[in-house]
Amino acid sequence: MPDCRSGIRALRRLSLPDRAGGNNTLHFTPKELPAFGGRPAAMRNKNSGGSMAFPDSDFRKIKRKRTGSGNQCRITIFEPDLETAPREVLHWIQSRRLVKMVENCYNNVPLYKKRFDEMGLLPGDIKSIDDIHKLPFTYKTDLRDNYPFGMIAVPKEQLVRIHASSGTTGKQTVVGYTKNDIDVWAKGAARALVAAGATKSDYIHVSYGYGLFTGGLGLHYGAEMLGATAIPVSSGNTKRQVDILRDYGSDFLCCTPSYAMYIGETVRDMGIDPKTLKLRGGIFGAEAWSENMRREIEKILDIKAYDIYGLSEIAGPGVSFECKEQTGMHINEDFFYPEIIDPETGEQLPDGEYGELVFTCIGKEALPLLRYRTRDICKLSHKPCSCGRTLVKMSKTRGRTDDMLIIRGINVFPSQVEHVLLSLNMEPNYQIIVDRKNNLDTMEVQVEMSDQMFSDKVRNLEDVEHNIAAALQST
């Protein structure tokens, strides 16, 4: 039988604000908790008719698992009551959140109401997370077709931030966040930092891009939630990055793996011994990288390198993360419920089988996506992990089901290139060449010359090239 106290602590932090921002209290009775024996009667709310109520104000401070003693102790799990919760407790949390989310989607997102009605599905038909297969899929094209805010499920007044990523035809994929959504995202990033060994006394050097791209701010807010010091360096000006790493005494580096390699090469070219840097770890994501590249990064920077996964539509970096075992990335499944499906049939696949990764945002308010098709290919594993976390693991992605390219953390679709050429009144006959130079991804677009593009003046051809390049960069 799962530990009652651990399960109850996890459940008490389950918070799902309603659309109007009203009472956040969730009620449940001891009968709803058969897996871990219910709640002691002394802890019940006297005014709830025998049920138990746990408002946000009653949530207790997170008790974090620590190792060592005195000033040497380090947090090893950021939220142990949730990250190590019994599977029965996670199932209960996921079920409650899914039911609440489905109601939100049906009542506040026209696209979902239309699809539910077409399927003859009602929110009340979803009783638990076991019913998730009954729900419709969501595709990236749905976000494009409802650009910019047609998928947002909360009033404008509740939005605190907007991010966006590349779309397939020039229109960006717009993602809105409430205050609670930002906290969920920050928790995911904080969990990743702690799993990599970061503590509140560390300096976190963030070299992901800041702006509409979700990379920089995700790790930034994660560091602050942990209580560490975020250094928002952003990308570029690599010699200055190295100066900051050395002079500030940064403990962790967060960036794309290709940029980490480039920083390492710059450290070497500047004649600096990486062992003299205080840097001891790095969290790298936003693009695919191999185990060989991991070893190269660890060698050139003398650090331990960790993987992190995320996508703007779901939350940004922090959806899943590696622990010390490094045999896959733990998914924050109390917020983002994963499935692996056959990309052709849409049927769910069991643990250990590769298929398309699908996420349902059971912990989000502003953009609560149902069964979002990520197009990433990977597999899941529920095998016990030596780190103590019970969260399911996903493998590194091994490809995609669509034609999207990821260049230095930026999503690029060939259809975007075609869209740009057509907008410039050019024939869409082109070739994309992707390469890696100095450990940085490069993309070259070669465009077939048409009769109208020919000119006796080199200057005219240079102008055409400049216009194409400018249009592509602004897409």
Report d(CA 303, CA 251) in Å as an integer: 10
How buried is 474 (Cβ within 10 angstroms: 0-12 exposed, 13-18 middle, 19+ buried)? exposed
Strand 252-255 and strand 203-206: pairing?
parallel
Q: What is the pLDDT of residue 322?
A: 98
* 198 alpha carbon, distance to own chain's centre: 19
User: In one letter, which amino acid is 78?
Assistant: F
Reported pTM = 0.76
Alpha carbon distance, N-terminus to C-terminus of the chain: 54
Q: What is the pLDDT of residue 407?
A: 79
Mean pLDDT per 10-residue section of the chain, whose length is 475 residues: 47 43 36 38 35 32 43 72 97 98 98 98 98 97 94 98 73 93 98 98 96 92 98 96 98 96 96 98 91 92 98 94 97 98 96 96 98 95 97 91 74 72 74 82 83 70 83 75
Q: What is the pLDDT of residue 292?
A: 84
User: In one letter, which amino acid is 186?
Assistant: A
